Chain A
Amino acid sequence: MKNFNRFKKILLLLFISTLFISCEKDFLEVTNPNDLSPETFWKTEQDAIKAITGAYALFQYQVWDGRWGYYEIGYMNLECRSDLINLYDMWSPFGDMSTYDASSTSYVLNDFWSFSYQGLYAANQVIENVPGMGLSNGDVFVAEAKFLRAYAHYLLVTNFGNIVMKTSTPQSTDDFYEGQSAQADVWAQIEQDLLDAKSNLPLTWESQWLGRATKGAASSLLAKAYLWQEKWSQAASELREVVNSGVYALESDFESLFNGLNEHNSESIFELNFTMSDAGGRNERNSFPAMQTDWKMFTPNEYMRGLFLNDLTEGGELSQRVNGSLIYTDLAADDLGAISWKKFSLYDEATNNGYSFSHSGTNFTVIRYADVLLMLAEALNESGSTGEAEGFVNQVRARAGVPDISGMNQADLREHIRHVERPLELAAETGRFYDLVRWYKNGNLSSVLVAHGREAGESFDNSNDLYYPIPSSETTSNPLVVQNPGY
């Protein structure tokens, strides 16, 4: 009897205790309350806006907190090899890069490479996911993403030459390891993306969305791609579309293009937006160090100064291009070191709004109408229509207030566009070295550099120095990637 009672007690105890033991089948399934997941995202237009915003944001290259990212990684590494600059006091990563001797371990190149690929990843996410959302304007988002994908590939292929092309998001760990593509294939992809984008992008955006890609932006970038491949007539027809769209016109005040007080003007085709606002972290600010301060890295060189000194109006005055591009006291007599570039920087009280030079909301203009006109002139000239080409050059010159050119033959006009007009108009806007590469990649780039006063160009060798080295972080982790020759 005693045993039986004991047995009953035990059974009761076991019964009670099993109640505690939950037999939920999904006890081990958890969901992450902190973040969205692909199952809960990609539902509404707001999600699409967030996703495309995330993609644009990467082109600000804000690698670390605080705002120097764009200046170092999005601007300086593109500008430092120009033949129009004098190296004044290069910060340490740019010392080697600016003398055509970059190192594969440079953090600047590493960050540029990885942020560009993050941009590609973000753009590919939009391209893959938005079509399935059933939005009425879904095509526009996809078009914007394709534009950004083309832009990222453009930046990568013009800087590194032999790049990994990314047209989809990785689905498995094998997809992390892809090899490099032939340059021709990359250009073909860029062209295809831009043609697709062009057809669905709007001509303009309403004010609150200014900064998003437009049809004109896609066409202009496509034209640049064509020019790289010397497809002159295709470039010309693309550029004519931009001209004839009626959307763009040259601004009359040259300086206002760069001082942050006239953003998204009629000449601006594609701008990278920055803002002063503190909300959401300080990474939406830009920082172009006031070129006139101790942070200054480079100045115009003698060749450039010579060009500016000759950019005179009818009345013999220095044109508004000179004033809008440089800070100087006496352009002819000043030491080179005392002259500074003015574009995009905040340097005086009137434009500062009380903020220091490193906290600026000034946008960076990636492509503007003057560039389109000069590209069209170049394409026409290369196709034999030198007369018509001169006309477009003169539109730019008229805005600057300097007299027209006329009666040039193809070779003269080519030299003029390459080594006079484009420098005067577009110096210090990151495009110069890439122009030199596309013109002289099969020619003698070294002699041009030397002729314009860049001593380091003497040892420049087309087979090695046209492109930066692939960052070592990629070559050591990706066995399918081969380092560029010469590094």
Chain B
Amino acid sequence: MRKFLTIFFCLFVYQTIFAQNGTVIGTVVDEDGLPLPGANVIVLDTELGAATDDNGNFTINNVPTGTYSLRAQFVGYNNVVIGNVVVEANKSTEVNFELVSGIIAGEEIVVVGYGVQQKREVTGSVASISADEIKKIPTTQIGSALQGAAAGVNVTNATGAPGASPRISIRGTATLGNNDPLYIVDGVPTDISYVNPSDIESMDILKDASMAAIYGSRAANGVIIINTNRGATDKGQDLQIKYNSYFATQSVENKFPFITNKEDYVKLAKIALENAGIDYTTEFGADHFLNMYDDDPSQFSSSDWEDAYFDNAFEHKHDLSVSGGAENFNFAVMGMYSDMDGLVSTTNNERMSLRLNSDFKKGIFRIGESVSIGRSEGSGRFNNLYSFYALSRMSPLTPIYDNTESGYGSQLNIGGFGNTGENPILENELNKDTWDEVKIMLSGYVEVDIFEDLKYTFRLSQNITEGYWFSFRPSYFTNDAENNPTAQMWETRNRKYHSILESFANYNKKFGNHTVTAMVGYAEEKADGRSTYGYAQDFPNNDLQVLGAGESGDNASGWANEWRLRSFFGRLSYTYLDRYLVTANIRRDGSSRFDADDQWGNFPSFSAGWRISDEPFFNLDKVTELKLRAGYGELGLQEFGDYQYIPKIQKDENGRLNYSYGPGRDQIIYIGARSLNFPSVGIQWETSKETNIGFDLGMFEDRFTMSLDYYLKTSDGILFGVPIPKSAGAVDNPVVNSASIDNNGLELAFAYKNFDSALKYQVTTTLSTYSNEVTRMGEYGDESIWGGEVHWGLDQTTKTVVGEPVASFFLYETDGLDSNGDLIYVDQNGDGEITEDDKKFMGNSAPDAEIGLNFNASYHDFDFTLNLFSSLGRKLINGGRWLTMNTDRFHAMHEDMLDAWTPSNSGSEIPRVIYADDRNSKASDFWLEDASYLRIKYLEVGYTVPKELTNSWGIGGLRIYIAAENLLTITEYSGYDPSVESYETGSIFNPSVSSVENTAGFIFDRGADRSPYPLARKFLTGIQVSL
């Protein structure tokens, strides 16, 4: 009996162990059918799993009978889960996986400055943007592709002119000077305006101080790290050749409502004069345009100046790249050519670039280089900064072309047009403004693996910029009042060298449950710039456009500038049990822009993170990742003139210091000199102190990911020229550490993707809020800076003071029209008069929130992309409307004036028109409009030709697509473009002008829409070929 029982028991056990188990076998391959060795296949909700062998086969034994889900995963590929796998006793069930390459959240690599970190270990706030997302939007400018792609990153176009770079700012307004972040391309701090977006492989945006602190100085505005394509060593030996090309047409998205009809115009002019009590028939002469019109209306035209000014524009761009590698080297060569017309009929921008990256490995050494050359040439950009103002000076009664010697019409001879401008079409077509700039980046490095865990890198780089700008105004004669008797020419050349040397070491070691990463390094940078300028006039004819041909008025000038930077930096990261993370950075920078006592600044940061999802007590299956993080850091900025602390004695180029002694009227001029301004003594680094807390969440096999960050940033000692008393005797205000701004905001990003079925899709949403407040401005609390001037002659509209955001609108409040049809201004202080004291703050142009929504989907061979962007709570002063509803003199008029108040149209909200009277044209909220908008930024439909077909043609892949950019903007704003900021203050020809002088006006002019350029709607079609 016992024997029987034993056997029975054994059989029972045997059954238990074996009889109820089955096996799962299968293969894991990639999208090309190649096996993936070393992939993991896991049976979910169990401890069972196996790895694939060299042929991609796996076997999982002893799987209890039942129904399971299996997951295959491999680094660099998206996980695939197959459910409903039935395991039967003693049977093998076959499950095969095909993995698609992609990034698994948590294991992606983030470039963090002098090194990399795994995303799972990052404790600060980083937004990583993949190459696919950047390449989605065909453009020549990286900035255009970024808007809405990352929370906290705000992109605005200064002008829509071809070749204009968008302004990118990260986390609000940290400084009153230059708000541009630091750009690093392939490890080199450089200018990204000529980087071809198609070259980019990855982009990481370091948003908070704990991440950016490693770049210490200059990092207070955030850091954008870009790595371009370098080829690959581990993807087999095949060369990858890719060709992309697109063709696009652009047109003005919406026209400005100028009155173009002469009858309407004359009718309004007459009403305006009548309301001013002027009888034009008696008070103006017979040569006044109204009397001439009454006499014979047919002698006048109805010109549409705007129509003649803008044209549909054509654009095309071509990229070709070859990349590849073998076990010991990889390389990539990328070339680009693009040609883009601007909407203004004579503007154009042509670009070309070539980039060559390669890396070689032998033994413990790795050597590589990154070289790029970019050239951009164009016409018309600087001339057209005032395009709208020029259009606003022209009446529809004036012919554009006429029977004059020059062939152009003029209104300067028609009586009654006060304060008019010159024919802007003549200026576009005759004046020649061209520019040509080349940027070269050279960089080479050597890396040594000193020991297994210690690596040393040495890198030398140089950026060379060479630019040239020339402007020629030919002689012409339209009539006695409008002509240019002598042709004139201005030419400027400049060259700048910027060299960087870096030497740093990385250490990375795992001791049991502890991982330690350390980095220590040294860098130095220097930049030298030199410019020359020449002017001549009196050219014998308009074809000889070189300075030497000018016969008089010769004038030459030139200048030079330089700066130096020396830095020491280090980082230490410690991870315990892979879930407790701590990182500290420190950087010490010395800059030549400060005097000897104040040159050095120290910028520390510290951050910590906790991967809750890796805790043993954490048991929510659906959640694959939950990480909390917090950080604090101090960063610096020193973006202002190079010699501010050095006292200088100048001669004033404008001759204001010159004087002539001696009798007569044609005396010799003596050059005078004196100190014009006070040096900025004792100035120091601007510092920015930032605290950031956030969390990252991944759920449902990382189908759903989310990041939420909240930041508080205080910028202190902002370098700015706050007004000092004029009695001190200087011309300008010395730049001193005089202001402080607080910024805070919330950033939310989440993404959902579903690649499991034939319809694969991915939705990414970003939400950013920004809020800032000035906490200090100068020595005494009530200093203020005015700004937001739409044009000379109209009042300023913004005021920056302590306690309010930068550039807050400061306007009269209006309350409808009175019984005469004039605007009623609210008397806030009840003193019976409307004075400056009755103005009040009315918000600012920064939006309350920005929302980006990107939707990508693919179904079999078709793919679809939709990018939406919305800005909520944004306000703008509609400068274009203000200029054209100002009846100060006769010029272009706005269509709204046709609905102006008259006794028979007393229900109107538009004030009545009165000639030469600005009572209804003060800086009031009548011109302030809600500029919130929702825009379909980009819409694309593509088709990938099936692989079998393309392979039979001998090519690897072919995709064609059609797309539209700025398809639709839904907004209540009545100006050209609710997303506009004010002018780009161009100065490629005067690099010695400090960036504070260049951009300070820009900051305080935010919110005043001067209608620089209409927005373009673009339709494109393109093709992508890979061989």
Residues of chain A whose beta carbon lies under 8 Å from any beta carbon of chain B = 6, 9-10, 13-14, 17, 20-22, 27-38, 41, 47, 49-58, 60, 62, 65, 105, 110, 113-114, 117-118, 120-122, 124-125, 163-164, 166, 169-170, 172-173, 175-178, 207-212, 260, 263-264, 273-284, 353, 360-362, 471, 473-474, 476-479, 481
Docked-complex contact B666 and A361, CB < 8 angstroms: yes
Residues of A within 8 A of B458 (CB): 13, 17, 20
Bound form: Cα–Cα A118–B562 in Å: 29
Docked-complex contact A471 and B726, CB < 8 angstroms: yes
Nearest B-chain residue to A165, judged by Cβ: B727
Bound form: Cα–Cα A353–B665 in Å: 10
Residues of B within 8 A of A118 (CB): 729-731
**Contact among A55, A114, A284, A471 for B655, CB-based, below 8 A:** A284
Q: How close is B392's CB to chain A, nearest CB, in angstroms?
A: 21
Docked-complex contact B661 and A476, CB < 8 angstroms: no
Bound form: Cα–Cα A28–B524 in Å: 10
* Top 9 A-B residue pairs of the complex, sorted by shortest distance between their CB atoms: A281-B655, A121-B729, A361-B665, A54-B672, A53-B672, A478-B725, A114-B726, A35-B648, A54-B674
Docked-complex contact A21 and B501, CB < 8 angstroms: yes
**Contact among B446, B648, B780 for A13, CB-based, below 8 A:** B446
Nearest B-chain residue to A124, judged by Cβ: B729
Bound form: Cα–Cα A212–B364 in Å: 78
Binary contact track B657-677/A, C-beta < 8 Å → 1, others 0 = 111111111111111111100
**Residue B481 CB within 8 A of the other chain:** no
Mark out the residues of chain B between 617 and 664 whose CB falls within 8 Å of any chain A CB in the assembled complex. 642-643, 646-651, 653-664
Nearest A-chain residue to B778, judged by Cβ: A477
Docked-complex contact B648 and A207, CB < 8 angstroms: no
Bound form: Cα–Cα A58–B836 in Å: 32
Which of the candidate stretches B291-299, B591-599, B952-960 sits at the interface with the other chain? B591-599
Nearest B-chain residue to A7, judged by Cβ: B450
Residues of B within 8 A of A212 (CB): 661
Bound form: Cα–Cα A114–B450 in Å: 65
Question: Can you give 27 contacting A-B residue pairs, CB < 8 Å?
Answer: A9-B364, A13-B456, A20-B458, A27-B524, A31-B646, A35-B648, A37-B646, A51-B674, A54-B674, A56-B659, A57-B656, A110-B726, A114-B726, A117-B728, A125-B675, A172-B681, A176-B724, A177-B724, A210-B663, A212-B661, A263-B664, A264-B663, A281-B653, A281-B658, A284-B658, A471-B726, A477-B723
Mark out the residues of chain B between 389 and 428 whose CB falls within 8 Å of any chain A CB in the assembled complex. none
Bound form: Cα–Cα A175–B596 in Å: 23
A-B pair number, CB within 8 angstroms: 251
Q: How close is A154's CB to chain B, nearest CB, in angstroms?
A: 16
Residues of B within 8 A of A30 (CB): 562-564, 592, 642-643
**Residue B784 CB within 8 A of the other chain:** yes
Docked-complex contact A176 and B725, CB < 8 angstroms: yes
**Residue B767 CB within 8 A of the other chain:** no
**Residue B9 CB within 8 A of the other chain:** no
**Residue B503 CB within 8 A of the other chain:** yes
Bound form: Cα–Cα A28–B590 in Å: 7
**Residue B280 CB within 8 A of the other chain:** no
Q: How close is B593's CB to chain A, nearest CB, in angstroms?
A: 8
Nearest B-chain residue to A18, judged by Cβ: B503
Docked-complex contact B524 and A22, CB < 8 angstroms: yes
Given A57-B656, A125-B675, A173-B724, 8 other A-B contacts at CB below 8 A? A30-B592, A51-B672, A54-B659, A113-B726, A210-B662, A263-B664, A276-B665, A277-B669
**Contact among B524, B553, B564, B729 for A21, CB-based, below 8 A:** B524
Residues of B within 8 A of A124 (CB): 729
**Contact among B562, B592, B660, B782 for A273, CB-based, below 8 A:** B660
Q: In the complex, which range does the number of interface residues on chain B fall in?
A: 35 or more
Residues of A within 8 A of B448 (CB): 9-10, 13
Mark out the residues of chain B between 467 and 520 whose CB falls within 8 Å of any chain A CB in the assembled complex. 501, 503
Q: How close is A31's CB to chain B, nearest CB, in angstroms?
A: 7
Nearest A-chain residue to B599, judged by Cβ: A28
Bound form: Cα–Cα A58–B726 in Å: 14
**Residue B17 CB within 8 A of the other chain:** no
Docked-complex contact A37 and B647, CB < 8 angstroms: yes
**Residue B559 CB within 8 A of the other chain:** yes
Residues of chain B whose beta carbon lies under 8 Å from any beta carbon of chain A = 364, 446, 448, 450, 456, 458, 460, 501, 503, 522, 524, 526, 553, 559-566, 590-592, 596, 599, 642-643, 646-651, 653-675, 678, 681, 723-731, 734, 736, 778-780, 782-784, 836, 992
Docked-complex contact A284 and B524, CB < 8 angstroms: no
Docked-complex contact B660 and A275, CB < 8 angstroms: yes
Residues of B within 8 A of A17 (CB): 446, 458, 503
The interface centre, meaning the residue of B642, B654, B658, B780 with most chain A CB atoms within 10 A of its CB, is: B658
Nearest A-chain residue to B725, judged by Cβ: A478
Docked-complex contact A283 and B656, CB < 8 angstroms: yes
Residues of A within 8 A of B675 (CB): 38, 121, 125, 169
Known contacts A21-B501, A476-B784; A284/B729 CB under 8 A? no
Residues of A within 8 A of B562 (CB): 30
Q: How close is A261's CB to chain B, nearest CB, in angstroms?
A: 8
Bound form: Cα–Cα A476–B650 in Å: 29
Known contacts A34-B560, A110-B726, A176-B728; A41/B669 CB under 8 A? no
Bound form: Cα–Cα A407–B818 in Å: 67
Nearest B-chain residue to A119, judged by Cβ: B729
Q: How close is B722's CB to chain A, nearest CB, in angstroms?
A: 8
Docked-complex contact A284 and B726, CB < 8 angstroms: no
Known contacts A54-B673, A57-B672, A277-B660; A283/B655 CB under 8 A? yes
Q: How close is B506's CB to chain A, nearest CB, in angstroms?
A: 15
Nearest B-chain residue to A3, judged by Cβ: B451
Residues of A within 8 A of B647 (CB): 37-38
Bound form: Cα–Cα A118–B656 in Å: 12
**Contact among A211, A274, A280 for B671, CB-based, below 8 A:** A280
The interface centre, meaning the residue of B669, B724, B783 with most chain A CB atoms within 10 A of its CB, is: B669
Nearest A-chain residue to B653, judged by Cβ: A281
The interface centre, meaning the residue of B458, B642, B650 with most chain A CB atoms within 10 A of its CB, is: B458
Nearest B-chain residue to A273, judged by Cβ: B660
Q: How close is B242's CB to chain A, nearest CB, in angstroms?
A: 36
Docked-complex contact A6 and B648, CB < 8 angstroms: no
Docked-complex contact A28 and B566, CB < 8 angstroms: yes
Nearest B-chain residue to A32, judged by Cβ: B643
**Contact among A56, A164, A276, A478 for B666, CB-based, below 8 A:** A276
Known contacts A28-B591, A34-B561, A280-B658; A481/B648 CB under 8 A? no
Docked-complex contact B656 and A177, CB < 8 angstroms: no
Residues of B within 8 A of A277 (CB): 660, 666-669
Docked-complex contact A36 and B648, CB < 8 angstroms: yes
**Contact among A29, A173, A263 for B663, CB-based, below 8 A:** A263
Docked-complex contact B460 and A20, CB < 8 angstroms: yes
Docked-complex contact A473 and B723, CB < 8 angstroms: yes
Docked-complex contact B736 and A173, CB < 8 angstroms: yes
Residues of B within 8 A of A41 (CB): 649, 673
**Contact among A29, A51, A60, A471 for B673, CB-based, below 8 A:** A51
Residues of B within 8 A of A260 (CB): 665
Residues of B within 8 A of A114 (CB): 726
Docked-complex contact A21 and B503, CB < 8 angstroms: yes
Docked-complex contact B727 and A481, CB < 8 angstroms: yes
Bound form: Cα–Cα A277–B670 in Å: 11
Bound form: Cα–Cα A260–B667 in Å: 13
Bound form: Cα–Cα A192–B503 in Å: 65
The interface centre, meaning the residue of B590, B646, B734, B782 with most chain A CB atoms within 10 A of its CB, is: B646
Docked-complex contact B648 and A53, CB < 8 angstroms: no
Nearest A-chain residue to B552, judged by Cβ: A278
Bound form: Cα–Cα A326–B560 in Å: 53
Bound form: Cα–Cα A105–B673 in Å: 30
**Contact among A51, A166, A264 for B727, CB-based, below 8 A:** A166
Docked-complex contact A117 and B729, CB < 8 angstroms: yes
Bound form: Cα–Cα A298–B78 in Å: 85
Docked-complex contact A361 and B664, CB < 8 angstroms: yes
**Contact among A31, A32, A163, A273 for B659, CB-based, below 8 A:** A273
Residues of A within 8 A of B563 (CB): 30
Nearest B-chain residue to A52, judged by Cβ: B672
